[in-house]
Amino acid sequence: MDQYSILFPVFTAAAAVAISVVVFLWRQWGEPWRRRRVPPGSMGWPYIGETLKLYSEDPNRFFSIRRKRYGNIFKSHILGCPCVMISSPEAAKIVLANKAHLFKPTYPPSKERMIGPEALFFHQGNYHSLLKKTVVASFSPSAIRGSVAALQNIALRLLSKWERINTVCTFQEMKKYAFEVAMISAFGDEEEPETRQGIRCLYENLEKGYNSMPLNIPGTPFHRAIKARKALNCRLKKIIEKRRSACRGGGLLGNLLNLQNQLTDSQIADNVIGVIFAAHDTTATVLTWLLKYLHDNPSVLQAVAGEQEGIRRKLQVEGNRGLTWDDTRDMLLTTRVIQETLRSASILSFTFREAVEDVEFQGYVIPKGWKVLPLFRTIHHSSDLFPQPHIFDPSRFEVPPRPNTFMPFGNGVHSCPGSDLAKLEMLVLLHHLTTTYRWRVVGEEDTIQYGPFPVPKGGLPIQVTPWKNTLPVVASDHQYQNS
């Protein structure tokens, strides 16, 4: 054999690889999309696109630079996918509500596997509608108004321990609170403490793996999470069997079981676990930001404490009764503080959808398969919609925001069914917290960490001291406005 016959196959293979790479790159970044008027923007480097930029710099900066350069709709390439980012309320509404059938929800397969592929987040059409109706009904104001006493017990149990802890990690404590609330919402108050504890342990392993690299190799958090997910399914199946035979059941699980033969056990299990997932870190993160903003804005804290002290005294006068749903409706100022926290922290910076076909969109084409990201945070921080967006000013919510501009709970078909429960949890906890304690942030750093939601560094370590009220009880919004 001469040297040419040895090298020929090598050259052929190298040429084939080179041609495939060129074709791949041309398809991804080349002419076809340019001719079809996709939105303006940069696709960054081949394959990695702009992923490193998005995850290495402040996401606000990433979005606002591109928005200034290209306008409200621009293309990019992140996490291996071409995508279109949209930052106008009107365009976000089209994607999430008006033309939702053209934009399906999309999640990385590893996340889908963790939560459970039959959970409602991942679906559209009849199956999604059936589940959504039941979940919405389970968390509607009329369904949750009776749970104030239970929430109150959870809050009081948690807060009573804080005095004995030298440094409280706010985020970890809020996670305990949100988890307990999610558990009673999912199961009612029927399950034994041991069953709850067992679910909690498995859930903790699941969560660690959810936020880790998806490497299914023994010893990795992801592997442990997959095992925990299987064990959770078994436990839920046992609970379902028990409830079916006893013909009883409260919480979301009870309502899903009432759908009789319309759902399989694994569909029920995926949705119960999915809802606990959706309810847990989100609420805990927002609560952590609430404490941070109240700490940094003493006049707002004083106004909230005044409102809550007024309610506390009313309860005392009325025979030391517990808080009720109607009392929480009187917490107008505290509600505005929660709204401003949801806007300012915007913990879900954006969500993901995927175009199910080529879609004509505001003069552009969004090609089939491209991801579409409505940028909630950018909309909430637009100075045209929320003047001086960097200032924490709850009084801006004295006037309702323009429709479709305030979307902390999303919009349209997949909007959050747990928004009323989340707000109720926050009101109950703030009532007891602001009438009992004051807190000092340890370390005073303004750094943010992502895990995956943005939280103050270290989960906001605080030191708490008991608080004796010396405030006037009636607070007005204007008390803090110019301070």
Residue number, 449 or 476, with CB nearest to ligand HEM? 449
- Taking CB under 6 A as the binding criterion, the range among 193-201, 313-321, 357-365, 412-420 that sits at the site for ligand HEM is 412-420
Work out whether 254 is an interface residue with ligand HEM (CB under 6 A): no
Residue number, 5 or 142, with CB nearest to ligand HEM? 142
Work out whether 438 is an interface residue with ligand HEM (CB under 6 A): no
Q: Which of 60, 415, 463, 479 binds ligand HEM (CB under 6 A)?
A: 415
Q: Which of 243, 295, 414, 438 binds ligand HEM (CB under 6 A)?
A: 414
Asked whether residue 416 is marked as a ligand-binding residue, the answer is: yes
Query: From residue 86 to residue 115, what is the string marking binding to ligand HEM with x (rule CB under 6 A)?
Result: -------------------x----------
Residue nearest to ligand HEM (CB): 418
Three state DSSP letters for 417-483:
CCHHHHHHHHHHHHHHHHCCEEEEECCCCCCEEECCCEEEHHHCEEEEEECCCCCCCCCCCHHHHCC
For the CB of residue 476, give the shortest distance to ligand HEM in the complex, in Å: 26
Distance CA 290, CA 166 (A): 21
Work out whether 278 is an interface residue with ligand HEM (CB under 6 A): yes
Considering only residues 188-227, where is the footprint of ligand HEM by CB under 6 A? none
By CB neighbour count within 10 A (0-12 exposed, 13-18 middle, 19+ buried), where does 136 fall? Answer: middle
Work out whether 366 is an interface residue with ligand HEM (CB under 6 A): no
Work out whether 338 is an interface residue with ligand HEM (CB under 6 A): no
Angstrom distances, CA of residue 305 to CA of 259, 427, 437, 469, 473: 44, 12, 10, 9, 8
For the CB of residue 128, give the shortest distance to ligand HEM in the complex, in Å: 6
Work out whether 185 is an interface residue with ligand HEM (CB under 6 A): yes
User: Which DSSP string corresponds to 224-276?
Assistant: HHHHHHHHHHHHHHHHHHHHHHHT---HHHHHHHTTGGGS-HHHHHHHHHHHH
Token pair in block for residue 54: 């998005």
Q: Which of 91, 226, 348, 460 binds ligand HEM (CB under 6 A)?
A: 348
For the CB of residue 105, give the shortest distance to ligand HEM in the complex, in Å: 6
Q: Which of 282, 308, 328, 378 binds ligand HEM (CB under 6 A)?
A: 282
User: Which DSSP string corresponds to 164-230?
Assistant: T-SSEEHHHHHHHHHHHHHHHHHHTT-S-HHHHHHHHHHHHHHHHHHTS----STTSHHHHHHHHHH
Token pair in block for residue 237: 């199946």
For the CB of residue 468, give the shortest distance to ligand HEM in the complex, in Å: 31
Task: List 438's β-bridge partners, or say none.
Answer: 465
Residue number, 301 or 348, with CB nearest to ligand HEM? 348
Query: Cβ(409)–Cβ(416) under 8 Å?
Result: yes
Residue number, 309 or 354, with CB nearest to ligand HEM? 354
For the CB of residue 366, give the shortest distance to ligand HEM in the complex, in Å: 17
Token pair in block for residue 255: 């309502």
Residue with token string 């996918």: 81
| Pairing of the two strands 103-105 and 81-86 | unpaired
| Pairing of the two strands 81-86 and 371-374 | parallel
Work out whether 84 is an interface residue with ligand HEM (CB under 6 A): no
Residue number, 258 or 483, with CB nearest to ligand HEM? 258
Residue 359 — φ and ψ, nearest 5°? -120, 125
Residues in contact with ligand HEM by CB under 6 A are 105, 120-121, 132, 135, 139, 185, 275, 278-279, 282-283, 286, 347-348, 351, 408-410, 414-418, 421-422
Binding-site members for heme are 416
